[in-house]
């Protein structure tokens, strides 16, 4: 059987080989997920069986250790599989009130350090989207790029970003969708639904189900795979904040080059900045190189400024524009620090918003009712709260 399969593979054309590779990869990913989550389920089942025989403090200590072991296993599986599993891990890391702290801490590393794809895969996608031919050069000639750095700046669940330079000297960021990601996601969704079915049986007493999460991920990922849609979202967001009376100088949305972009390729201005998590750590006294010159008091004040700015940005999206960025995890937010002289004159940091693939539009009636609801809450008007909830 193995010999027949190898012979069939050897005589297949390149397209057929890629299809076979995707199917084999799907089986490997399914096995990896089953192995990981099966082990996790066994550990939690064993812990639940010991609960009645343990003191509350001892049970809590064992629960924390179980969370740590299982979170490490889940992180390893998400890294190895990528695709929708990286996306699920990123989402899990944002559910701080609902997820155990051990999971949030482990999965947060997926927010800006997803596995990097093979160089040949990225080159094939670029040549196809730029119509350069199978052997076309990525720089010079018919290519729009004078320079192209093949080492990615960052890698996410669906794409990775590279630095490039256009022929006029403009530095740009190039977002390249992972090859065969659509086929991989199809198999991942099948795996996820099957696992939800198994988990609902194994934990039927706890009424456990992840069906809602799988449905939500499926609809969201299909939107995020459309880079032309992302380009339109970014252009609209940039235009909205460009005319905002108080935030126009504080929000940076990189300009998109639509003529160079496609459904799987997005070219935009290169935006400098440091991860927002570095601001949070500096406020706690953990300074990165970029913030080494700041005092503890300055770092704390910088943190307050960034927090206020982010609150104002998303308040404008929710209450004023009804056009809301729905993937604002730390990997999608950079901070541009004021220059050495500027911050002493009162100039504040700027917020760079990245990854505009997932937005929600709020109808005007919902947006206005939401505004009224929060005003009623602030004014402690029970009648107002009831009225706006009803509307």
Render pLDDT for 125-155 as a digit per residue (tens, 0 to 9): 999 999 998 888 888 888 999 999 989 998 8
**For helices 382-390 and 364-378, what crossing angle results, to 10°?**
170
Q: What is the pLDDT of residue 20?
A: 54
Phi, psi dihedrals of residue 378, rounded to the nearest 5°:
-65, -35
Residue 54 near residue 106, CB atoms below 8 Å: no
As a whole number, mean pLDDT of residues 302-315 equals 95
pTM of the model as a whole: 0.80
Q: What is the pLDDT of residue 18?
A: 58
pLDDT of 114 > 70? The answer is no
Tell which residue, 356, 328, 337, 339, has the closest CA to residue 274: 337
Q: What is the pLDDT of residue 237?
A: 98
pLDDT of 23 > 70? The answer is no
Task: Using pLDDT thresholds of 50, 70 and 90, give the confidence band for residue 250.
Answer: very high
Q: What is the pLDDT of residue 111?
A: 66
Task: Using pLDDT thresholds of 50, 70 and 90, give the confidence band for residue 16.
Answer: low
Residue 110 near residue 154, CB atoms below 8 Å: no
Q: What is the pLDDT of residue 253?
A: 98
Query: What is the per-residue pLDDT across 50-102, written as a single tens digit (0 to 9) for each?
Result: 888 889 899 999 999 999 999 999 999 988 887 778 877 877 787 777 788 89
Average pLDDT, the chain: 86
Q: What is the pLDDT of residue 339?
A: 75
Task: Using pLDDT thresholds of 50, 70 and 90, give the confidence band for residue 391.
Answer: confident
Query: What is the per-residue pLDDT across 366-387, written as a single tens digit (0 to 9) for each?
Result: 999 999 999 999 999 999 999 9
Task: Using pLDDT thresholds of 50, 70 and 90, give the confidence band for residue 221.
Answer: confident
Q: What is the pLDDT of residue 288?
A: 83
pLDDT of 205 > 80? The answer is no
Task: Using pLDDT thresholds of 50, 70 and 90, give the confidence band for residue 297.
Answer: confident
What span, in angstroms and rounded, lies between the C-alpha atoms of 100 and 86? 18
Above pLDDT 90, what percent of the chain?
A: 46
pLDDT of 5 > 50? The answer is no
pLDDT of 9 > 50? The answer is no
As a whole number, mean pLDDT of residues 36-51 equals 89
Q: Which of 135, 327, 364, 365 is catalytic?
A: 327
How far is residue 183 from each of residues 51, 118, 162, 192, 336, measured CA to CA in Å? 43, 17, 23, 14, 37
Residue 172 near residue 257, CB atoms below 8 Å: yes
Q: Which residue has the higher pLDDT, 18 or 218?
A: 218
Told to judge if 327 belongs to the known catalytic residues of this protein, a careful annotator would answer: yes
159-166/251-252 β-pairing: unpaired
């Amino acid at each position: 059987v193995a010999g027949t399969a190898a012979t069939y593979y050897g005589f297949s054309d390149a397209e057929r080989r890629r299809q076979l590779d995707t199917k084999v990869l799907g089986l490997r990913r399914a096995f990896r997920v089953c192995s990981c989550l099966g082990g996790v389920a066994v550990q939690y089942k064993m812990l639940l069986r010991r609960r009645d025989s343990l003191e509350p403090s001892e049970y809590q200590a064992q629960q924390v250790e179980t969370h740590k072991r299982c979170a490490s296993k889940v992180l390893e599986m998400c890294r190895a599989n990528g695709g929708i599993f990286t996306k699920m891990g990123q989402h899990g890391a944002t559910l701080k009130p609902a997820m155990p702290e051990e999971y949030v801490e482990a999965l947060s590393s997926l927010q800006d350090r997803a596995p990097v794809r093979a160089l040949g895969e990225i080159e094939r996608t670029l040549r196809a989207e730029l119509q350069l031919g199978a052997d076309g050069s990525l720089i010079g000639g018919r290519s729009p790029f004078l320079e192209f750095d093949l080492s990615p700046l960052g890698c996410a669940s669906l794409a990775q970003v590279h630095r490039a330079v256009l022929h006029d000297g403009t530095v740009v960021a190039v977002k390249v969708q992972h090859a065969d990601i659509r086929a991989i996601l199809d198999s991942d969704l099948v795996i996820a639904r099957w696992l939800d079915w198994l988990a609902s049986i194994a934990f039927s007493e706890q009424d456990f189900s992840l069906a809602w999460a799988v449905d939500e991920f499926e609809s969201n990922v299909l939107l995020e795979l459309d880079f032309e849609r992302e380009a339109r979202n970014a252009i609209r967001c940039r235009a909205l904040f460009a005319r905002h009376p108080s935030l126009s100088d504080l929000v940076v949305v990189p300009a998109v080059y639509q003529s160079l972009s496609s459904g799987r390729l997005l070219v935009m201005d290169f935006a400098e900045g440091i991860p927002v998590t570095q601001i949070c750590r500096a406020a706690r006294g953990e300074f990165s190189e970029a913030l080494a010159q700041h005092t503890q008091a300055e770092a704390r004040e910088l943190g307050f400024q960034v927090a206020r700015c982010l609150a104002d940005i998303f308040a404008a999206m929710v209450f004023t524009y009804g056009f809301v960025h729905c993937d604002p995890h730390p990997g999608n937010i950079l901070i541009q620090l004021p220059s050495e002289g500027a911050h002493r004159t009162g100039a504040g940091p700027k917020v760079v918003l990245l990854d505009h693939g997932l937005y929600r539009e709020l109808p005007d009636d919902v947006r206005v009712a939401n505004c009224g609801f929060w005003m009623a809450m602030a004014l402690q008007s029970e009648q107002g709260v009831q009225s706006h909830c009803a509307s």
